[in-house]
Structure 1
């Protein structure tokens, strides 16, 4: 009963050896050479190579095999994961330095996207009790991202996600919100106090990188409200130091 799984695992291992052999040959290689380097019988290599070409992991040109689009996507995904891991580590470091959960978000294709959150048992993140995408008018992350958009893009977003009362402290109407966004300083922290969640205050720092609107933010319990702006300034200083020494991938 175990023979089929064992055979399947063996096939996967042999296919991986072929992929590794192809990856080592940027100028391409013929089946015979790949079979030899992977330690496979030629008929087995032919069968696996045809399958890998069919699935898009390899492509064949003039009798030579090269990595295909599917394999390149895997490589790109690996680089993407590495960038994400780097950003997560960075947020965790700032969480520990500042003593507050740290959030990283971008505005992409008309949507608010929270990409990473670093929190801990001692400093938990705000519970997403109302969808962050739909309530950008009520939390610091959304307000910060919307403040970076042009007027047309802001109005488009608010047409899709109308202003609504989330707590007694939430801005009441679209016009009042637009005026607030227009008054927001270009590189000033954006602060909200209990507008998204009662008992919580938040501050977000705008990040400028090309045409992408991005933000990093912190949240604190309301009884620590006096810490909010100093902590936000500390985060802003850390971000400035980072951007001064390396290029951060906004999209991660």
Structure 2
């Protein structure tokens, strides 16, 4: 049987890296499933990966046996429950690695610093370092919110296609957390365009009255992540924003480099 170009390329990469080809392929399939929304058919995986159906079927059967994938009644495959424990542990570790960078943000801006991930259709906060001010903002680590009312949500969705954003908003709805919350898809998409244009996102009293938040995505992060600072609107003024945003962007770049490097020591 002729070997596909994708398979040949995979074999060459594995040989060069000293890795195990079946493991690399299995993790690649899991990531492709996540990119597709968590549920796919074998033919879709074959088309996107370039792997032959028998190979994919064998890998998926192993993943099902291990609990990392499950087969639905409609014969399609979905991400399995055992991944949840791995994801939660990884998120906690990610937060640990981020803390020194968030501490620098607090030192240089004076405001509470947060890190958040996009988990499904929700924003989850995975790390925080509080401000030293007596009046400061607290967001509990582990808290989940909808993206449309937060600065980190805007930062995380700014790189998504408009159709994907509309589909997410249709699933979650756009309830108003305050009178300032954006509650229509068109206005939210316009806000995302502004984020792309200016390079940062603002939550201006949209999640909580009296609180202003500035957020930027972590570029090239292994998982979709954003960092932010939040504080009283009276302190996070237009003048403060011009000072804080470059610091946010610099810390995001440094955090990205730390997350992409090998081992936790690089985050120090």
Asked if these proteins are the same fold (TM beyond 0.5), I'd say yes
Choose the corresponding residue for 2:157, options 131, 146, 159.
146
CA distance in structure 2 between the partners assigned to 1:144 and 1:246 by the alignment: 18
CA distance in structure 2 between the partners assigned to 1:157 and 1:243 by the alignment: 26
SS at 1:116 equivalent: strand
The residue that corresponds to 1:87 in the other structure is 98
Cα deviation for residue 178 of structure 1 reads: 1.9
Q: What is the CA deviation profile of residues 74-104 of structure 1, one whole-angstrom value per residue up to 9, with x for unaligned ones?
A: 9xx6x87655423223212321222111111
CA distance in structure 1 between the partners assigned to 2:210 and 2:113 by the alignment: 17
The residue that corresponds to 1:103 in the other structure is 114
- Where does structure 2 lack aligned partners over 5 or more consecutive residues? 1-84
Q: With the length of structure 2 as denominator, give the TM-score of the two structures.
A: 0.54
* Contact residue 219 and residue 253 of structure 2 kept, 8 A: no
SS at 1:212 equivalent: coil
Q: Highest CA radius of gyration, 1 or 2?
A: 1
CA distance in structure 2 between the partners assigned to 1:171 and 1:80 by the alignment: 28
* Contact residue 201 and residue 221 of structure 1 kept, 8 A: yes
* Contact residue 149 and residue 213 of structure 1 kept, 8 A: no
CA root-mean-square deviation: 3.3
The residue that corresponds to 1:247 in the other structure is 260
The residue that corresponds to 2:210 in the other structure is 199
- Where does structure 1 lack aligned partners over 5 or more consecutive residues? 1-72
Q: What is the CA deviation profile of residues 185-232 of structure 1, one whole-angstrom value per residue up to 9, with x for unaligned ones?
A: 167011121111111111101122267322110012111123133212
Q: With the length of structure 1 as denominator, give the TM-score of the two structures.
A: 0.58
Alignment of 1:156-167 (within 5 A): 156-167=167-178
